[in-house]
Chain A
Amino acid sequence: EVQLVESGGGLVEPGGSLRLSCEASGFTFRSYSMNWVRQAPGKGLEWVSYINMNTPSTYYADSVKGRFTISRDNAKNSLFLQMNNLRDEDTAVYYCVRDWTWAFDVWGQGTVVTVSP
């Protein structure tokens, strides 16, 4: 079964840092580009970051550029998102998402990040 499982979410104060992880299984992870997509409480989806299968090509939404860093470890079938200088508006469910022909075809269950004093 193709599966993505996120972890690492939690409560953090403004200005703090958090590192999200995503473990992939059921497919050849190194053959796919990957993304992080987030959803603030009661709001819509927002694309956050993309990493292609051959690092270090990485791309970011303007809202997180300079604060977030996406990376991957193909040997461990894992995707990461290092989030620094977190703001209130970063509070969201963060989804790990597989890219397939410029579409987001497989989603994890999400991990919750809450930024609050």
Chain B
Amino acid sequence: QSALTQPPSASGSRGQSVTISCTGTNSDVGGYNYVSWFQQHPGKAPKLMIYAVTERPSGVPDRFSGSKSGNTASLTVSGLQPEDEADYYCSSYAGSFTWVFGGGTKLTVL
């Protein structure tokens, strides 16, 4: 149950796009199409932004998109807005009813 690897920080100017990576192994990210992404503002509970690698829950702006290649998943935020500044976490199903999270990425909107 090792954590997935995310860059500690990412940044972009308002209106630009930024991509956050999430690297795991064949036992989690690479083995299942059950990667999720969460947004967390300070002092708040996480919010599901992407599930099943590419799917967006109702109410999540289409500026948020997900993808996966091999053992690495990615979250792309297009048209950055000030309210997108937050911590982002990936997670993946890891088999046998266990899950693993990434260490988190702090996104700064310049």
Interface residues of A (CB under 8 A from B): 35, 37, 44-47, 50, 52, 57, 59, 61-63, 95, 100-105, 107-110
Contact = CB atoms under 8 A, between A and B. Distances in A.
Given A45-B46, A107-B47, A109-B45, A102 B98 contact: no
Interface residues of B, number: 25
Given A46-B101, A62-B1, A102 B93 contact: yes
B86 to A, nearest CB: 13
A61 B96 CA distance: 11
B64 interface: no
Given A101-B34, A105-B48, 13 more contacts: A44-B102, A45-B38, A45-B46, A45-B91, A46-B101, A50-B98, A57-B97, A101-B51, A102-B32, A102-B34, A103-B48, A104-B91, A107-B45
